[in-house]
Structure 1
Amino acid sequence: MSRPVLFFDSGLGGLTVLREARLLLPERRFVYVADDAGFPYGAWEEDALLTRLLSLFEVLLKAHDPEAVVIACNTAFTLAGAALRVRFPDTRFVGTVPAIKPAAERTQSGLISVLATPGTVRRAYTRDLIRSFADRCAVKLVGSEKLAICAEAFLKRQVVDEAVLRAEISPCFVTSDDGQTDIVVLACTHYPFLAGLFRKLAPWPVDWLDPAEAIARQLRRVVPDVPFDADAHFADQAVFTSGEVSPELARLLSGFGLKRPQSLKFF
């Protein structure tokens, strides 16, 4: 049996990337790890979160020996990506960063907003991306403490207050003498699950830029082909650091091809 690809996120948002990866890597099996005991990451202090991530990956890499790891979380990768590569030099890491470069290439008005967690907004990494790729654009960083939580609730078929969503996305919409915002970068993998509601609630149409497909393409570039084994996919699993996997959550995960939810108690 081939080595798996490990997906990592604070919660369920990385499933948006896993969905795309399955299309491009049909021969691979997957392990999806949700650090739901630490969710949400956006409000964590940087040193504490970095320590947690390094400790958690010591456990995960030994347990699963992955072919590659996708950090399907902007907050985690912009903070810990470099440190993870130094600590685990033999592991291929594919990161998730705000899609500022493609946004700058596509915008017509030059007005871009980046909708992210507060942690991603604070990162020097994010501001370096703006300086490197969007220095001729007006980029507004919008940090939300609520949207990732709303996305998790939406996935679990709980009621989501549209007034809350509208208030969270409204700062993204800017007008100036040159025009108005035409691209909003979804800089948290949870947010694409809410994209339909965002379109409904937006004051005008914009391109909601989801990086999931680009991340999956990068994964395909770095992971070698292996012979397809249909039986291997019965071993696909999800792991939750809270140690809690409800029947409802197990049913949700089965829709993403993750048929063996497990728990990993981690503090």
Structure 2
Amino acid sequence: MICHRPVLILDSGVGGLTVLREVRFKLPYERLVYVIDDAAFPYGGWDEIPLAERLIDLVGRQIELHDPKVVLIACNTAFTLVGEALRAAFPDMAFVGTVPAIKPAAHRTRSGLISVLATPGTVRRAYTRDLIARHASNCHVRLVGSDLLAEMAEAHLRGDDTADADLLTEIADCFLEDGARRTDIIVLACTHYPFLANRFREIAPWPVDWIDPAEAIARQLARVVETARVLPAGNVSVRGVEAQPDQAIFTSGRRDADSLRLLTGFGLSA
């Protein structure tokens, strides 16, 4: 039997599930392999050179193991660092990346005041500042890096309590007032953060539009999968193709009960 070539999704933790959820809507018959690089979580505090080396090595090993048709890097920190390097290292592989949604934010803002809520790594990237220069030069864009939100999101998904005051400390710098103008758009530039979006709305000092790029990423993935297709999509009625479940892989080898329950809820076996 011929195995159905999967779509490979990679993130440092469970944040990529926000994107995987949308991918399922767009590509319900594609097999998904979700690589959770929990051995290196969180990426945001890593120095650039060792993180880049780790990511290129990790992606290369996963390509060799799974022979995916497309690789989706579901992490702003990772893709803004090594997106171009991955394409250069693996020229025969199709990649889809995750970058801060600055362009749509610039189109939607009315006040001209935008904040990008990200990890410290994404905030530091020249890639991020280039996006601002190309797509939001007429806006005031505030970059806000949080050391803790990704870990808070993972704790939230495990059912652990996070105090409103602690969350507000992490997002407070996103809210800027300039005379009669106020920040009206906040870009969630880490795939973990949408899991906390409802909490953000509850504690925000005023209403803003929180941009979650997951649906746009899934749309782009669907376009790339269509052009990269080798076998027909679908785990049923495809002659000679062996159906396999969607799979999650932990790079640490550790699989705690809470994480396994979460992944099962997203239809992943581990």
Partner of 2:104: 102
Say if 2:195 is the partner of 1:189. Answer: no
Gaps of 5+ in 2: none
Q: Could you tell me how far apart the structure 2 residues matched to 1:242 and 1:32 are?
A: 14
User: Which among 68, 80, 83 is matched to residue 82 of structure 2?
Assistant: 80
SS in 1 for 2:137: coil
Q: Does 1:56 align with 2:58?
A: yes
Matched AA of 1:185? V
Secondary structure of the residue that 1:244 maps to in structure 2? Answer: coil
Percent pairwise identity: 62
Alpha-carbon distance between aligned partners in 1 of 2:125 and 2:189, rounded to the nearest angstrom: 12
TM-superposed deviation, 1:228: 2.1
Partner of 2:30: 28
CA drift of 1:246 comes to 1.6
Q: What per-residue deviation string (whole Å, max 9, x for no partner) do you get for residues 67-119 of structure 1?
A: 10110000000001000000001111000000000000000000000000000
Deviations 1:119-177 (A, max 9, x none): 00000000000000000000000000000000000111111122110011000000002
Q: Give the structure 1 partner of residue 252 of structure 2.
A: 242
* Partner SS, residue 220 of structure 1: helix
Alignment TM-score, normalising by the size of structure 1: 0.95
Q: Aligned-pair distance for 1:249?
A: 1.3
After the TM superposition, which residues 1-267 of structure 1 pair with which residues of structure 2 at under 5 Å, given as runs? 1-224=3-226, 226-230=232-236, 234-259=244-269, 261=270
- TM-score of the two chains, using structure 2 as the length reference: 0.94
The answer on whether the counterparts of 2:4 and 2:244 sit within 8 Å (CA) in structure 1 is no
**Cα RMSD for the two superposed structures:** 1.2
Per-residue CA shift, 1:9-30, capped at 9, x if unaligned? 0000000000000000011000
Structure 1, gaps ≥5 residues long: 262-267
Residue by residue over 1:183-214, the C-alpha shift from the partner in whole angstroms, topping out at 9 and shown as x without a partner, is 00000000000000000010000000000000
Distance 1:164 1:223 in 2: 40
Equivalences, count: 260
